[in-house]
Amino acid sequence: MVNETTKRLIARVKQLRVAQGLTQEQFAERADLDPKYYQHVEAGRKPNPGMDTLLKLAKGAGLELWQLFKFDHPLPVVAEEPAKHGGKATVGKGTRKVTKR
């Protein structure tokens, strides 16, 4: 049986994945997880993900582990790739900032 914290954590990871426009397979690759295993985690069929899996989920989301557990905070904006035209995308408070080099 999945406890409430695990349910909230899995829901948050899924929200982050969807917000980044990633499929389950793409997210699993980023997180260095087997895609089938990640599908089971997201579906709640792996009720007690271990620390290694939690760290990989955070990595896949581009966050620190503690940020996954900030359930009452809005989803952070995560920059995945440098912006076009030679700028660099960075994480900002709710917005993306682009700086020229």
Q: For 34-63, what is each residue's pLDDT tens digit?
A: 999 999 999 989 888 999 999 999 999 999
Q: What is the DSSP letter of 80?
A: -
* DSSP assignments along the chain, one per residue: ---HHHHHHHHHHHHHHHHTT--HHHHHHHHT--HHHHHHHHTT-SSS--HHHHHHHHHHHTS-HHHHT-TTSPPPP---SPPSTTEEEEE-SSSEEEEE-
Residue 30 amino acid letter: R
Grouping H, G, I as helix, E, B as strand and the rest as coil, residue 6 is helix
Report pLDDT for 3.
85
Q: What domains can be seen in the chain, in order of their start residue?
A: 4-100 (1.10.260.40)
Report pLDDT for 2.
67
Residues of the chain with pLDDT under 50: 79-101
**The pair of three-digit structure tokens given for residue 87, joined into one six-digit string:** 């700028």
